[in-house]
Each structure stands twice: as C-alpha cells, then as structure tokens.
Amino acid sequence: MHVVSIILQSLLALAFLMAGIGKITGSKMHVENFKKLRLPQWFRVFTGLVEFVSAAALVVGFWDASWVAAGALVIAITAIGGALAHVRAKDFLKEMFPIIFIGILAIILFFINVSDLSNFPGFN
C-alpha cells in the first residue's frame, strides 16, 4: 500500500500545486471558470491558496507521514465543494468528472494514511 500512497500523493500534489498557482495568479481558464460557476473572484484566490497549502502538505508528507492524511483530507473537502459548485451551476457530469475523480483519489489517500494522522502536530 505504501507505493500506492506515494503515487497518489505525488499525483495529487502536482495537480493541486498547478491548479492552486493557476488560480492565485489569475489564469484566464480559472477566471472564466469561476465566472461560469457564478463565484466571486476573491473566492478563486482563496481556493487557490487552499489548494496550494494542500499540495504543500502532501509534499511535506514525503518526510513526515502525518501530513499526508491532513493534506488529503483538505483536498477531499475542496473537491466536495468544487463538485457542489458544478451541481449549483447545473453542469453536466462531463464537467464535474475531473473534480469528482480527484476527490475519490484524495479520499483513498486519506484512508490509506489515516492512522498517521494521530501524529499530526498538535494532535498528540
């Protein structure tokens, strides 16, 4: 299971690092997507910061395993919020599939590493 965890951790960290930076810097795609979803642009920046911090937690998780579960949990919550935003905008499943898929991967990664969460700073 450790290899699966590292692969999922790497994929999610890379995906959320790229998405977070794109939202923070205001890439055209993300600006238009938030307009389409009828969400304010300040929320795009906030979402980007959350995604960037989640990706950073997964990267820190390569050295301290307790950060993997925390980062995966934040990504899963973010993915649920993203899916709900697509539902609110009445998007088709085709538009929702990427965020649902990422959410499922994050939930799998969380459950693989949930036992390490007890060692997270401040929990012991």
pLDDT tens-digit map of 77-120: 999 999 999 999 998 988 899 999 999 999 999 999 998 888 88
pTM equals 0.89
Q: What is the pLDDT of residues 18-54, one digit of tens each?
A: 999 999 999 999 999 999 999 999 999 999 999 999 9
φ, ψ for residue 26, nearest 5 deg? 80, 45
Q: Where are the alpha helices (DSSP H) in 1-124?
A: 2-25, 28-36, 41-60, 66-88, 93-113
For residue 64, the SS3 value is coil
